Amino acid sequence: MNDDTTTPDDLREQTAEAAPEVAEHDRAAALQAEIDELRSKVLYAQAETQNVRRRLEKDAADAKAYAATGFARDMLSVADNLARALGAIPAELKADEKLKPLVTGIEATAKELDNVFSRHGVTKIAALGAKLDPNLHQAMVELPSEEEAGTIVQEMQAGYTLKERLLRPALVGVSKGA
């Protein structure tokens, strides 16, 4: 009964009728393939869920660690003003007994601010004598110097980091070389 109008579906039906175990095997293979595909999708979804959870945990930790960034950045101007105030006091006034308590108070305030910064991970960037690092320093001027070109020879404003992040770059003068 094999004529030219027989379709592949007809042949499958004829084969299934003639050999039921072949049809069962094909159905089992199809079901196993579907199970494997679904298992793969479940594993992918679990991996994606775990990645999202890790990302959220990292974001939460970063938010906690760097929550004070704005406040710390604002406090840098206080540190700058205290340093300027101490730098502006001439040596003879520092020795004057009448002004000694004022100078001591300003020095103690500056030291306490540095201690608070230190406790919260705010650190001053070392600049003088170091090589210019564009990630930490901002070159404002090139100066003639005996130092090797690219060496920081002047610090105009201190730079700070909060833990591993830059709060403010150090404003520096860099050597042009001899």
44-71 pLDDT tens trace: 999 999 999 999 999 898 888 788 888 8
122-178 pLDDT tens trace: 999 989 999 999 999 999 999 988 888 889 999 999 999 998 899 999 999 999 876
Longest dimension (CA), the chain: 124
pTM for the whole structure: 0.64
pLDDT the model gives residue 14 = 63
CA 85 to the chain's CA centroid: 34
pLDDT the model gives residue 17 = 62
Gap between the Cα atoms of 56 and 78, Å rounded: 35
Both tokens of residue 98? 């009448």
Q: With residue 28 as reference, give the H or E element that holds it.
A: helix 20-65
Q: Tell me if 161 sits within 8 A of 167, measured CB to CB.
A: yes
Q: Where are the domains of the chain?
A: 8-64, 66-175
Q: Please, what's the b/e burial string for 50-66 (b: 16 or more CB within 10 A of its CB; e: otherwise)?
A: eeeeeeeeeeeeeeeeb
More confident residue, 1 or 24: 24
pLDDT the model gives residue 20 = 63
pLDDT the model gives residue 70 = 85
82-118 pLDDT tens trace: 999 999 999 888 888 998 899 999 999 999 999 999 9
User: Is CATH 3.10.20.30 what the domain over 66-175 is classified as, yes or no?
Assistant: no
